[in-house]
Chains A and B, each alone.
Chain A
Amino acid sequence: MSVIDPQDLRDAVIDDRERGLFRVKRTTMTADAVWQAERKRIFDRCWLYLGHDSEIERPGDFVRRKVAGRPLVFVRGKDGRPRAFYNSCTHRGARVCRQDRGHAKSFQCFYHAWTFSTEGKLVGIPDKEGYAPAVDAEELGLRPVARLACYRDFWFVSFAPDVESLEDYLAGAKEYIDLVADQGADGMRVLPGTHQYACNANWKLMVENSVDGYHGAPLHHTYFAFLAGQGDDDGAKQLRSTEARAYDLGNGHAVVDYPAPFPRAVARWHPIYGEDAKDELRGIRDELAERCGEERAHRMAETCRNLLIYPNLLLLDVAGLTLRTVWPVRPDHMELTGYALAPRGESDAQTRRRLEGFNLFLGPGGLATPDDVEALEACQEGFAATAEDYSDISRGMHRDAATVDELQMRAFWREWQANMLGSGHGAHDEGPKPAPAGAAS
């Protein structure tokens, strides 16, 4: 099946607000036609995460990225301006940049040695006299991605020239990005080293899982048992606290916002850090309060957030601070990348605490993420028998949504369905709006 019937898409999501029922047909996670349509209607239409400003600090710095299957180069030009190009020679299409990251004066294609500047201009054609004047170097620069924009050092691209502005697109997610970006007085940076892994399941399952508070206690028992053994026995309970909320942030973005159930290297001391860490964490907490006010300092230090930026970026401000991208490869296979963020200029001891907490929970070698991957693969395996059935995502539809509810996933699916039907943004009128900045969380 290469074409998808709009009626099938309408039937794919049951959104019965009166009865409090929300269900998603599992073929949305198995059918190749759905995945082909997602490429055009979601990944070619949305703003997609490219990289962080700190990854290309100096003019000439570059990183290679694959965004929605397209090879791109994210490079800071000699003029200091970041740009995003398709990593493909305008001559015959070969990949021009062949390293994952580095520093370049120019990019020379190894096939016929056409050379491009870091601003993307074609500056060298060997034996140029062999071309008629119609072959114009001015027109043959590296092709830029249609749109490139930045919010608080997070750079996004869109393949749709007419996409709305990034700020409009991010909607209510901006305030939550701010709660990360403001953790460092001098901004944030991506630490070297990335988690590059994969999962044999549909990409939307990882999006759901990354903002799912309901699974924390049962699936991650072994992780919380470890923390309990270190003198913190209230970990998993925090997820069920009355302060643990979920919010629909508009345009498919959503967040769960809850008291920290883990050590937080921002400034939540935990026995695992040892007594020596207390003074430094208190100092960081004081600086946050002075710079950002007590309310925001409290949110940054003592509460956690799993933020979904639709369609596939997760900003997980949890045991560690991570950016996770979820890239579909096939309906039943996704590639995952995790980056660690830290305040610029933080102490070595603090970076170490941050990394230890990060590794313990998150990533393919952590005590928790492997079980997430296992659970999603188990779902995908189950779909082989039950693809015509519906998955239930109704939890908390009759009340102000808590972290252990599923409002955040419904926000994703409502946007997904609207995008797939070509009807713009979804209707996001269920549940309370997030607390305005400065109000009690």
Chain B
Amino acid sequence: MSAAAVSDALLTRLAVEDFLYAEAALLDAWRLDDWLALFTADCRYYVPATDLPDGDPRATLGLIDDDRTRLRGRVDRLNSAKAYREFPWSRTTRLVTNVRVLADHGDRLEATANVAAWRYRKGDEQTLVGRLGYVLARRDDTFAIQAKHIVLTAEALRPHGTLSIIL
């Protein structure tokens, strides 16, 4: 790879990293409306079942399979004091690492990262670890999320209980 190509790849990765860190910060701060604004109108947010990480949302049971409408509903719910599993809010810290740009198609690119999220509430500590897959659409000097795919590393949501925060 030429020095110029390396430099381009690095700059792209840095831009993606900045975007993903900012996304994680919005989630940790419970700024969910701002987080939702990162997504395109035709977006998809998918978490396969823990026992079927390669699941296809069209044919297999997953944990979450949201289009924009359902994601809006999920955010509205979590903004409400009647989302009892998350009100009062849990405290969370997300570490987003191992960021790689897998393919750059110009107007959109595919990226992957690892996430480790700690959630504290009611005296419990919950650790959620997984791999994030993104399809990012280029928007001026930043990105919009067209697809976010989260494969949890856990074999089951045990002892976690539920997946009540947004990863």
Contact = CB atoms under 8 A, between A and B. Distances in A.
Interface in A347-389: 348, 351-352, 355-356, 358-360, 363-365, 367, 369-371, 373-375, 377, 381
B70 A199 contact: no
A226 B74 CA distance: 9
Contacts of A335: 158
Contacts of B49: 193-196
Interface in B136-167: 155-164
B48 A193 contact: yes
A197 interface: yes
B76 A192 contact: no
A375 B164 CA distance: 14
Nearest to A335: B158
Contacts of A365: 47, 63-64, 162-164
Contact of A351 (B47, B58, B63): B58
Contacts of A381: 122
Contacts of A369: 162
Nearest to B86: A370
B159 A191 contact: no
B61 A355 contact: yes
Interface of B is mostly: loop
Contacts of A68: none
A194 B157 contact: no
Contacts of B158: 196-198, 335
A404 B69 CA distance: 30
A219 B87 CA distance: 13
What band does the interface of chain A fall in when counting residues whose beta carbon is under 8 Å from B?
35 or more
B84 A374 contact: yes
B82 A356 contact: no
Interface string B40-57: 000000011111100101
A87 interface: no
B123 to A, nearest CB: 10
A91 interface: no
Contacts of A230: 69
Interface in B103-142: 122, 124
Contacts of B80: 221-222, 225
B84 A371 contact: yes
Contacts of B47: 365
Interface of A: 100, 191-200, 219, 221-223, 225-226, 229-230, 333, 335, 338-340, 348, 351-352, 355-356, 358-360, 363-365, 367, 369-371, 373-375, 377, 381
Given A370-B164, A377-B161, 20 more contacts: A192-B61, A193-B49, A193-B62, A194-B49, A194-B51, A195-B61, A196-B157, A223-B77, A226-B70, A226-B76, A229-B73, A230-B69, A355-B58, A355-B60, A356-B70, A359-B63, A364-B161, A365-B162, A370-B86, A377-B122
